[in-house]
Amino acid sequence: MATVVIGVAAFRDRLAAMSLPRLVVTPQLMGRPVGAPNDKTRQREILLAALDLLENAQAGKAIVDLT
């Protein structure tokens, strides 16, 4: 199975150290990695970045940093 992780910027170093297949780092406060409450536009953008990485990453440790 292909996987993608969406995580907040505060955990960027820790997530990067795990050598994950795909990682989207978001400019969000802890507890809300996909976006602020009811900010549907931003939430969709973050998820679409994750889905794009799922489909198009060519190798592991692929990181998209949205910060």
If binding is defined by CB under 8 A, does position 65 make contact with another protein? no
If binding is defined by CB under 8 A, does position 49 make contact with another protein? no
Q: Are 20 and 5 in contact (CB under 8 A)?
A: yes
Q: Which helix (H) or strand (E) holds 50?
A: helix 40-56
If binding is defined by CB under 8 A, does position 64 make contact with another protein? no
If binding is defined by CB under 8 A, does position 10 make contact with another protein? yes
Cα-Cα-Cα-Cα dihedral of 31, 67, 44, 14, to 10°?
A: -50
If binding is defined by CB under 8 A, does position 61 make contact with another protein? yes
Of the pair 57, 64, the CB lying nearest another protein is at 57
